[in-house]
Amino acid sequence: MATGVGMSVAEGKQVVEVDGKPFLLETPLKADVALIGARQAGYVGTLEHALTAHNFNPILAMAADVVIAKPQMIVPIGVISPGAVKTPGVIVTHLLERAAS
């Protein structure tokens, strides 16, 4: 039996059947706003993340209606190699520039 099916954790949740076996259906998380940092951003909002940030920030951006990114630096288009882009610019709605110190 699948985990949680028939237990109290299943109360109020949808159960789907796959290949004759019941499974709990967990709906995806949805956010109104995501505030994410990035190592670099292109002028159009493409983001490159550092270290473990690339594990979570792209997922947070895809789950939100509004994405506000604050990169360490904004660079011209083409500086970030296509393979390094983890969050495409079409997802980013606002790009904040760090104030000069």
Would you say residue 79 has pLDDT above 90?
yes
Which pLDDT value is given to residue 71? 95
Q: Are 91 and 59 in contact (CB under 8 A)?
A: no
pLDDT-based confidence at 88, cuts 50/70/90?
very high
Burial label, 19 (beta-carbon count in 10 A; 0-12, 13-18, 19+): exposed
- Mean of all residue pLDDT scores within the chain: 90
Dihedral pair phi/psi, residue 10, rounded to 5°: -85, -10
CA–CA dist 86, 53 (Å, integer): 10
CA–CA dist 15, 60 (Å, integer): 26
pLDDT digits (tens, 9 = 90+) for 30-76: 999 999 999 999 999 999 999 999 899 999 999 999 999 999 999 99
Which pLDDT value is given to residue 4? 82
